[in-house]
Amino acid sequence: KLVEVTSSLLFNYFPFFIIKMDSSALFFTFSAAIIILYFLRCLISQRHRVSSKPPLPPGTMGWPYVGETFQLYSRDPNVFFASKQKRYGSVFKTHVLGCPCVMISSPEAAKFVLVTKSHLFKPTFPASKERMLGKQAIFFHQGDYHTKLRKLVLRAFMPESIRDMVPDIESIAQDSLRSWVGTKINTYQEMKTYTFNVALLSIFGKDEVLYREDLKRCYYILEKGYNSMPVNLPGTLFHKAMKARKELSQILARILSERRDERSSHNDLLGSFMGDKEELTDEQIADNIIGVIFAARDTTASVMTWILKYLAENPNVLEAVTEEQMVVSKSKEEGESLTWGDTKKMPLTSRVIQETLRVASILSFTFREAVEDVEYEGYLIPKGWKVLPLFRNIHHSADIFSNPGKFDPSRFEVAPKPNTFMPFGNGTHSCPGNELAKLEISIMIHHLTTKYRCVYHLLYCLFSTFIRVIYFISLVIVLIRGNFIITDGQ
């Protein structure tokens, strides 16, 4: 309307002005009229584009800058997300950890972000973590480089590759259990040591024994700085972590040099990286080895800790698992190692692992970032906003799993519907080491139930639970610290 009125005035009265003006004034007046019309049209066009965009999802953004971060951390984060979902539905907005976010909590939405339109949502991590793991690590990339790395990792972790590792993983599990006998242990910390040693085995093969202590010493310093402020000043966690990171790179460089001198093939992750025809650089190999240790350690240790808790709380399930494992044990000769085939004779144990992954939901959510404006279900996800698929909300949905708060392994006697069970993520960035994780858990459960028993240490807190939400990462790991006594026999 504004353009029409302005145009009418100009064209109706312009001849009158022409009569009164000389040629110079006429030129400037005409030019001004054209410019005014142009800017008016641009203004109207811009308003039209803005009004034609879909609305943001429902929700609240909280206070300026801090958003709703305090509400998130002042109580159980799962309660925060569940209450938001109940009020606003499966797609809602909020502002946490310094970022505007869209939370999604339906299988369809998770598939949209992680699979169908995954190219529109890139993984995102805090700057400190990216610098410590290394910018060439698989987590931080999409496209051809990510595809190439994923193939190399999968080649090392596929069942055909890890089946020969069973006796070595079993040896690590037995050594761990023997060291715990008669002592009060912090379950989670001891499981972290176990999974760290298995991770080194999967990366370096038998060579891991030579470098285990040096790698462990450096990595333990490095991990303390993962979520620190990226201030590289002497004495800070970040500074210590970066110093340890540099030493880790030097150790890995020595290992690479020795492998090249050997000129022999190795059926482990390092062998897969070094055997690539296009050849990864030493920096790329180091970044991805450190990244794999990071991914393989804490989450698997958390799962095993939760398994102990749920078995202790459900003695009938523990008894059934023990019976299943005793059948496997009795089929072996004295001192005979487990085989890959033996681990496939543990269906109940497998369901216990699955149900633990569902109930505990170690991977409660993951972070993505929209690389452009995206429309979903009639809502706008603006470019640059974080998008969080809430796996825990999906795993605890009564519409998907009946009585979701109950620990019930029998529910996995029937396979869950697609995109309703995502303990290892989904899509191209799902965990490529899930088979190895399930294998090392099964082996530990086998020996723990057939040769040992673990009981609460009554002189200490039976189970102190706490939640540690790590700043701006793809995982929220819920940890349980338990004080157990490990003893021989039943």
Q: Annotated binding site for heme: which residue ranges?
A: 431
Pair of tokens at residue 297:
């350690």
> What residues contact residue 483 under an 8 Å CB cut-off, 6+ apart?
184, 185, 186, 187, 456, 457, 460, 461, 462, 463
* Amino acid in position 487: T
β-strand partners of 454:
486
Q: Which of 346, 311, 316, 351 is nearest to 331 (CA)?
A: 346
Strands annotated E in 38-126: 91-96, 99-104, 121-123
**490 by DSSP, 3-state: which?**
coil
With b meaning 16 or more CB within 10 Å and e meaning fewer, what string describes 410-438?
A: ebbeeebeebbbbbbbbbbbbbbbebbbb
Tell me, rounded to whole angstroms, the distance of Cα 47 from its chain centroid: 40
> What residues contact residue 111 under an 8 Å CB cut-off, 6+ apart?
418, 419, 426
- Contact present, 121 and 368 (Cβ < 8 Å): yes
Q: Count Cα neighbours of 58 within 13 Å in the Cβ-side half-sphere.
A: 8
With b meaning 16 or more CB within 10 Å and e meaning fewer, what string describes 201-222?
A: bbbbbebbeebeeebeebbebb
Report the sign of the C-alpha dihedral through residues 91, 94, 97, 98, in that order. positive
| Beta-strand pair 99-104/386-389 | parallel
Which residues does the annotation place in the binding site? 431
Q: Which of 488, 490, 487 is nearest to 183 (CA)?
A: 487
The three-point CA angle 93-99-105 to 5° equals: 35
Pair of tokens at residue 471:
């700043």
Tokens 């991977």 -> residue: 363
> What residues contact residue 225 under an 8 Å CB cut-off, 6+ apart?
128, 132, 237, 238, 240, 241, 242, 244
| Beta-strand pair 99-104/121-123 | unpaired
